[in-house]
Amino acid sequence: MEDYLTIVREYDVLGAFWVNIQLAFWAAILSLVLGSALALFRISPVPTLRWLATAYVTVFRNTPLTIIMVFITLGVWGQLGVTLSTDFATNFFRLAVVALSVYHAAFVCEAIRSGVNTVPLGQAEAARAIGLPFLASARLVILPQAFRGSIAPLGNVMIALIKNTTVAAAASVATETSSVMKTMIEFHSSHIFAIFFTFAIGYVILVTPVGLLTTALSRRLAVRR
């Protein structure tokens, strides 16, 4: 037991979780913005925009995150030289956020679209009938109801996103949890189970509130019809 405590103190476990939390925070914001825009494209009356959004979702939803992560670092940064910060570590952190965002935006788009499907067609017709153009009726009538209907599926996307931040290891973010865990196990293999459970339970504690919160929110904000 004492051994275990020494090991945990030796490594910055909480700091590692903090890195994943930050990755999740920024990727959540960016993917929600990008995903909402994509969802808007998908329901828009312009065929080109619909096609664009569909193509995006098809590509990113069906590509493994690790591959996107590696491509962003080796391809976009390594080959194309796109740099997001002069600081080496910050640069990789931001590249990882970009990879996480573009990947999860596809899922956010689908979650919102499932929310749009909960809004009866009559709502859109009534909005058009009082003279609201497409964007105004989307912003004032359709999307506010769609968001409420998509809180539960969005919660699932966010849960996946939090856990998927560990894939940032593939983008050389070495301070995040899975990388730290690997190092710890490498040097203290006799404590492999204790170390493993430390991180596993850490994630359960981190993720559970998100599920509870979104379930409660989706109930409270449900649009009564």
Partner 1 sequence: MDHDDATPTTGPAGTSTPLGPPLVELEGVNKHFGDLHVLRDIDLTVRKGEVLVVIGPSGSGKSTLCRAINRLETIDEGEIRIDGKPLPEEGKALAKLRADVGMVFQAFNLFAHRTVLDNVTLGPRKVRRAGKKEAEAEALQLLDRVGVRNQASKLPAQLSGGQQQRVAIARSLAMHPKVMLFDEPTSALDPEMINEVLDAMVALAKEGMTMVVVTHEMGFARKAADRVVFMADGQIVEEATPEEFFTAPKSERAKDFLSKILTH
Contact 16, 175 (CB under 8 A): yes
Helices 47-61/13-43 angle, 10° precision:
150
Q: Which stretch binds partner 1 (CB under 8 A): 15-23, 86-94, 134-142, 182-190?
A: 134-142
217 touches partner 1 by CB under 8 A: no
122 touches partner 1 by CB under 8 A: yes
Q: Which stretch binds partner 1 (CB under 8 A): 24-32, 109-117, 130-138, 182-190?
A: 130-138
Pick from 11, 63, 144, 207 the residue near partner 1 by CB under 8 A. 144
131 touches partner 1 by CB under 8 A: yes
150 touches partner 1 by CB under 8 A: no
Q: Which residues of 112-136 are buried (b: 16+ CB within 10 A; e: fewer)?
A: bbbbbeebeeebbeebeeeebebee
Pick from 47, 81, 133, 209 the residue near partner 1 by CB under 8 A. 133
**By CB neighbour count within 10 A (0-12 exposed, 13-18 middle, 19+ buried), where does 20 fall?**
buried
Q: Could you identify the residue written with the tokens 């209907």?
A: 149
Q: Which of 18, 2, 7 is nearest to 175 (CA)?
A: 18
Output the DSSP codes for 30-46: HHHHHHHHHHHHHHSS-
Pick from 101, 145, 179, 214 the residue near partner 1 by CB under 8 A. 145
One-letter amino acid identity for 188? H
Q: Which of 166, 156, 165 is nearest to 218 (CA)?
A: 156
Residues 169, 205: Cα–Cα separation, whole Å: 21
When the beta carbons of 12 and 125 are compared against partner 1, the nearer one is 125
117 touches partner 1 by CB under 8 A: no
Give the tokens for residue 213: 């919160």
Smallest distance, partner 1 to C-beta of residue 115, A: 12
Smallest distance, partner 1 to C-beta of residue 146, A: 10
Within 26-65, the residues that bind partner 1 by CB under 8 A are 45
When the beta carbons of 141 and 158 are compared against partner 1, the nearer one is 141
When the beta carbons of 61 and 128 are compared against partner 1, the nearer one is 128
Q: Dihedral of CA 66/70/71/73: which sign?
A: positive
Smallest distance, partner 1 to C-beta of residue 156, A: 22
Pick from 59, 192, 204, 223 the residue near partner 1 by CB under 8 A. 223
Q: Rule CB under 8 A: which residues touch partner 1?
A: 45, 120, 122-123, 125-133, 136, 140-141, 144-145, 148, 223-225
